[in-house]
Amino acid sequence: MYSFIASKGIAFYQDENASEEEVEKEGEREEHYYEEAQEQEGQEQEKKEQDVEEAFNEKLDVRYAENEEGGVHFDLKAAQKHDLGAFLPGGKSLFLTSLLTPAVLQQCSGETVTQGIEKTINTLLNEVSIRDPFFIIYGTSVSARSCQYPQIETRFYDVFGQVLQKGLKVPDSVFTMGQLVTKIRGATKNFISRKRTNRVLVEDLLADFTSYSRRNKLFQFEEPPVHVNCPWADFVNSNEAEESISTQHIKDLNFFI
pLDDT digits (tens, 9 = 90+) for 176-210: 788 899 999 999 999 999 999 999 999 999 999 99
DSSP assignment string, 117-153: HHHHHHHHHHHHHTT-TTGGG-B---SSS--SSPBPP
CB 164 within 8 A of CB 145: no
Q: What's residue 225's pLDDT?
A: 74
Q: What's residue 177's pLDDT?
A: 87
Average pLDDT (44-67) is 59
Q: What's residue 108's pLDDT?
A: 87
CB 127 within 8 A of CB 230: yes
Express the helix, strand and coil content of the chain in percent, nearest 5 each. 60, 10, 30
Question: 157 Cβ partners below 8 Å, 6+ apart?
Answer: 181, 184, 185, 188
| Residue boundaries of the structural domains of the chain | 1-67, 72-256
Largest CA distance in the chain: 90
Q: What's residue 8's pLDDT?
A: 46
Amino acid at position 234, single letter: D
Q: What's residue 256's pLDDT?
A: 35
Cα 217 to Cα 108: distance, rounded to the nearest angstrom: 34
Cα 167 to Cα 161: distance, rounded to the nearest angstrom: 10
What confidence tens digit (pLDDT) does each residue in 73-116 have? 899 999 999 999 999 999 889 999 999 989 899 888 888 888 88
Q: What's residue 24's pLDDT?
A: 66
What confidence tens digit (pLDDT) does each residue in 119-170 have? 999 999 999 998 898 999 999 877 656 678 999 999 999 999 999 999 998 8
3-class state of residue 182 by DSSP: helix
E strand or H helix that includes residue 218: none
Cα 115 to Cα 123: distance, rounded to the nearest angstrom: 12
- Range among 34-48, 86-100, 234-248 rated most confident: 86-100
Cα 72 to Cα 70: distance, rounded to the nearest angstrom: 7
Cα 180 to Cα 159: distance, rounded to the nearest angstrom: 11
| Its pTM surpasses 0.75 | no
**How many angstroms separate the Cα of 24 from the Cα of each of 7, 9, 12, 14, 57?**
14, 19, 13, 11, 49
Question: 75 Cβ partners below 8 Å, 6+ apart?
Answer: 166, 167, 168, 169
CB 183 within 8 A of CB 121: yes
Task: Report whether pLDDT(1) > 90.
Answer: no
Percent of the chain with pLDDT over 90: 37
3-class state of residue 94 by DSSP: strand
Cα 88 to Cα 135: distance, rounded to the nearest angstrom: 9
